[in-house]
Amino acid sequence: MKKFFILLCICCFGWGAMAQSPINLGIHGGVSSNRIKLKDIPDFKTKDNSGYMLGAFMRVNIGSLYIEPSFNFSHKKSTVQTKSEESEDFNLKLNTFDLPVMLGFKLVDFTAFKLRAYLGPVLSVGDVKNLKKLGDISTDKTNWHGKVGVGIDLWKLTFDIDYEKAFKDLGHELNAPRSFNFTLGLKII
């Protein structure tokens, strides 16, 4: 029993020391409203659709500034509507692994509540599914995005709303994707 009590005290001391650490680790996930627009293809048009994101993040706090790199899997979808009655509507699906690095500023910084603003680049690697239905279209597998947003921290929970847009088109016939993202996260450390 004595060894168990000593071990419990060491664990509690370690947990308290981690609470004061300038580094937070956590997991997050969310939904997005996005659109992959077509250009120069007169028989098709696209409309907004939903997607999701799952990942992990690390936040390095430096006073009122912070740097937050993440590793995410993102699924974005856009519905393609055909103008002819002979063809059916279908979805373009963009599955990517994203590496965002956000630079943020804490606008309000209380112990249990923080209001943040952030921006930064996102490296996105992946490909678009169902392109063969549009014809012979090739896309780039790597793209850079820009992201800007705001977030709230309530104790260990994080809520983020951001806008993300690619810097270049996916291909000759596909415009740069854009999305609004709504994310919920949990700081584990």
Going from N- to C-terminal start, the domains of the chain cover 24-187
Alpha helical stretches, state H, the chain: 2-19
Average pLDDT over residues 60-77: 94
The model's confidence at residue 76, banded by pLDDT at 50, 70 and 90, is confident
Sign for the CA dihedral angle at 28, 31, 32, 36 comes to positive
Closest CA to 92 of 35, 147, 140: 35
**pLDDT score at 16:** 45
Is the domain covering 24-187 a CATH 2.40.160.20 domain? yes
The larger pLDDT score, comparing residue 102 to residue 131, is at: 102
**pLDDT score at 131:** 63
Residue with tokens 């979805």: 91
A 10 A CB-CB count for 165 gives 13
The whole model's pTM is what? 0.79
**pLDDT score at 89:** 75
- β strands within the chain, DSSP E: 23-35, 44-47, 49-62, 65-82, 90-109, 113-129, 142-154, 157-166, 178-187
The larger pLDDT score, comparing residue 81 to residue 163, is at: 163
Strands 113-129 and 178-187: unpaired
Pair 164, 150: CB distance under 8 Å: no
A 10 A CB-CB count for 128 gives 23
Listed range (17-26, 69-78, 88-97, 150-159) with the worst mean pLDDT: 17-26
